[in-house]
Amino acid sequence: MDYPAPIAKLINSFTKLPGIGSKTAARLAFHVLEMPEMEVSQFAQALIQVKRDLTYCSICGNITDTDPCIICSDQSRDTSIILVVEDTRDVMSMERMQEYRGLYHVLQGVLSPMEGRGPEELNIAQLIKRLQDEEVKEVIIATNATAEGEATAVYLSRLIKPAGIKVTRLAHGLSVGSDIEYADEMTLFRAIEGRREL
């Protein structure tokens, strides 16, 4: 027996979200069916608003509802340092730490020839423009420790270093509370490479 068309359409919509299979999608669709109409309306409105009211910051590429974003507009930030990240979620993670006070630049992805994503598809041209216009002394590359993240870091480093700007990379290695015996070779290599004096 097939689901009625409206619920089948909702299930299909949920399956388009990452990590949502058909069973989870069905469970979510039936949960929506049981919600009060006002909550469903608010949920639908939130989905519409996130598409309609959000944009990318014209300076750093972060998702924002004001342009420039609140970080780029904050006069107390250290404008001599730019931390380059893959996406907005990385900015949010760094901000939760409440220790970094510089600026950000969001690439909106990483280089991935397998997926047809080259430098033109990323927010790299705007980064280079910022480096020419602003008094930046250091660029911290904080892409993920994946093959694509590493390739992107190397590519950016080669673009930026000739301008005489210091380029650094976030340290990678053992996480706090982890056991050495369970770490993979790349993690151990990064931990040794990123060691510091006590």
Per-residue pLDDT, 80: 95
Contact residues for 76 (Cβ-Cβ < 8 A; gap 6+): 101
Per-residue pLDDT, 43: 96
Per-residue pLDDT, 174: 67
DSSP E strands: which ranges in 6-143?
55-56, 63-64, 78-85, 102-106, 138-141
- pLDDT per position as a tens digit, 54-76: 999 999 999 999 999 999 999 99
Residue 20 gets which letter from DSSP? Answer: -
- pLDDT per position as a tens digit, 167-197: 999 877 767 777 767 777 777 777 777 776 6
- pLDDT per position as a tens digit, 15-34: 999 999 999 999 999 999 99
Determine the Cα–Cα distance for residues 152 and 166; give it in Å rounded to an integer. Answer: 17
What does residue 83 show for φ and ψ, rounded to 5 degrees?
A: -100, 120
- pLDDT per position as a tens digit, 83-119: 999 999 999 999 998 889 999 999 999 999 889 899 9
> Domains of the chain: which residue ranges?
5-53, 75-192
Per-residue pLDDT, 120: 94
Bond preceding residue 113 cis, omega within 30 of 0: no
The reported pTM is: 0.82
Residue 1 pLDDT exceeds 70: no
Per-residue pLDDT, 171: 79
The domain 75-192: what is its CATH number?
3.40.1360.10
The structural architecture, per CATH, of the domain 5-53 is Orthogonal Bundle (1.10)
Return the structure tokens found at 49. 């608003």
Per-residue pLDDT, 198: 54
Query: Between 138 and 180, where is the model more confident?
Result: 138
Per-residue pLDDT, 24: 97
Asked whether 101 and 76 are in contact (CB, 8 A), the reply is: yes
